[in-house]
Amino acid sequence: MSNRFYVTTPIYYVNAEPHLGHAYTTIAADVLSRFYRISGFETFFLTGTDEHGEKIVRAARASGESPGQYVDRISGLFRDMWPRLSISNDAFIRTTDEKHIKTVQAILSAVKENGDIYFSEYEGPYCFGCERFLTEREIVNGRCPDHQTEPEMIKEANYFFKMGRYQDWLTGHIHDNPDFIRPERYRNEVLSFLKEPLGDLCISRPKSRLTWGIPLPFDDGFVTYVWFDALINYLSAIDYPGGMRYETFWNVANHVVAKDILKPHGIYWPCMLKAAGIPPYRHLNVHGYWNVNEGKMSKSLGNVVRPLDLASVYGLDAFRYFLMRDMVFGLDSEFSEEALVGRINADLANDLGNLVSRSLTMLKNYLKGEPPLCGVTEKPDDEVREAALASIGIYASQMKELAFHKALMTVWEVIGKLNKYIDTMAPWVLAKSDRGRLSTVLYHISEALKIVSALIWPVMPGTAERIQEMLGIRNRGISFTLEDAAGWGARETEIQMTITPALFPRIEKGKHPGEKKKTEVRGKDSEMETRDKTSVPDKPRADVKPDKNIDEKAGPDLISIKDFARADLRIGKVKDAEPVPGSRKLMRLIVDLGPELGGERTIVAGILGAYEKEALLGRQVVVVANLEPAKLMGVESRGMVLAASDSNGLHLITADTAAEPGSKIK
């Protein structure tokens, strides 16, 4: 295949407003389009709206509008939403467009002339939600499984497409092209359908029942069945027949759809194309459902989530990342706001956000914004370079297979290696002892970050471009290709690195981002700090009375082993650090204490001025984990970080080698 890529979403039925299911399909197509663009492919990305049929008439009547007014309004909601979700489609098609209507009628005429359309009377179970007759095998417990309604028996005369004529051809084509429908489970599902006689497809509705549709070119008393109309959008949008876009893109067409419309796309559409003498599309890519309250997300069932609400609360790129990371393409996934917040805090705030913050802060502070230079490398440097460069090819292979979650896991492996590399190399120490080595370490960090920024761009374009701006990369976003990212060390001169606020602030449990916290101030800094169970005191606290259980024989300055054992000392890993507003000494730390103790918790420590943020991130500390919570300057602290104090200042106590967060100190 040539270096061209054509990706489509379904054209969305405008019987209700957009929901999370629409957003996922469109973002998935957008991610593919962006990936192929930075891979050097000529790309065309299509989306749009499906605006004919009985459900549209019913919805318009319910809203007090004409069908034309109604579809204009709802189609506008879809069109307006996509830029707000960073969707980069090249075209937006409507089935009410004159160009589309003419293309549908031309294909109907061609299929009729080929002898594949006939007129007949038919009676059978009809689902108004699906807008089609159902076969007996499709009905579950007397109901349509998608809409949970009982189909009605309808008898009427209509035009039919001889779809059964192409059953053997379609079966053979799927066997000969194993990736025609993917993932494999949906290929097998279509082949299972094809084991039974396919039958013919009713492609019209009498105007006595429905007038809102495209008139048949050979009988003005009928309008076109909505699926025969809608599927042709993939051709009309690229100027079929004979248009340059059709000649350029049709043989690399990739449809992205949800599994509820597998049958129309996997069976009706290839047969229609064959009957019209048009080659089949390249791939049908089928994803699962987002489930809410243990049911498929559906407008007709009412369990919808508004995507713009989520994006506005939690951030657009965070929302896009969650959708791509948490759904395995092809399988169902359960949506919850709790899972979204957990993913933001763990992957974006802790891993990516901290990496970028600490890296750019060190580049700015230690090198004054000048690009780092690479000196003699050591084994850890080479390992970082090799891992980052290797990730590009692995990521690309996974993206081509629509394994979005795996591709992101590949990127996060690099992010994890970089965070570990920083912890091991300790640039804050090198800044005082070996400036040449410091520059080499920062060089490897910045070059690897360049690769990370390119790999996350299809999913999080805004975040990627901010990182690229901070790194001083002139060609950003779509102009910074995977080939550019692979050019390790091919940097422009006179790079000016800048610092911006945190990419992904942590979200406190039970609070939405941006929600103001109540601050309770009861005294001066010094007064607060002497009451702080989590700060490092300058002298013993005079207000603490001796415990009655202390062994009297041990003497006034001694405690028994029993009393010492009451302190639950654990290894913690600092995930975030920031000054407490209004305090001269307090820092708010997010410390990971491992799964046994519930993961991360907030600890306030009196170490501001002794340690900079970048020196704390990723650092292992010793924590007294079973202290009662205390509120300091309005921030609840749940533990104490231990440090030693002498004439040279404070010294955090740590393990001499890496230990798992939550490890007990004995």
Which residues are marked as active site?
Answer: 19, 22, 127, 130, 144, 147, 296, 299
- Quick one: DSSP state of residue 545? P
Query: Residue for token digits 């102009």?
Result: 479
Amino acid at 41: F
CA atoms of 29 and 34, how far apart (whole Å): 9
* Residue 579 CB coordination number (10 Å): 14
* Residue 282 CB coordination number (10 Å): 19
CA atoms of 21 and 117, how far apart (whole Å): 35
CA atoms of 574 and 600, how far apart (whole Å): 9
Q: Cβ contacts of residue 30 below 8 Å, gap of 6+?
A: 45, 85, 86, 87, 88, 89, 458
- Contact between 622 and 654 under an 8 Å Cβ cutoff? The reply is yes
Tokens found for residue 444:
């490897």
Tokens found for residue 39:
């891979």
CB half-sphere exposure, 130, CA atoms < 13 A: 24
Q: Which helix (H) or strand (E) holds 442?
A: helix 435-456
SS3 content of the chain, % helix, strand, coil (to 5): 45, 20, 40
Helices (H), strands (E): how many in the chain? Answer: 24, 25
CA atoms of 79 and 47, how far apart (whole Å): 9
CA atoms of 211 and 54, how far apart (whole Å): 9
Sort residue 217 into left (φ over 0), alpha (ψ -120 to 50) or beta: alpha
Tokens found for residue 425:
């190399």
Q: Which helix (H) or strand (E) holds 600?
A: strand 600-605
CA atoms of 303 and 297, how far apart (whole Å): 6
- Quick one: DSSP state of residue 500? -
CA-only gyration radius of the chain, Å: 31
Q: Cβ contacts of residue 109 below 8 Å, gap of 6+?
A: 217, 218
CA atoms of 469 and 584, how far apart (whole Å): 32
- Contact between 349 and 419 under an 8 Å Cβ cutoff? The reply is no
Query: Residue for token digits 């007064």?
Result: 527
- Contact between 161 and 120 under an 8 Å Cβ cutoff? The reply is no
Helix/strand/coil for 480 = coil
Amino acid at 482: L
The DSSP result for 352-391, as a single string, is: IIHHHHHHHHHHHHHHTTPPP---S--HHHHHHHHHHHHH
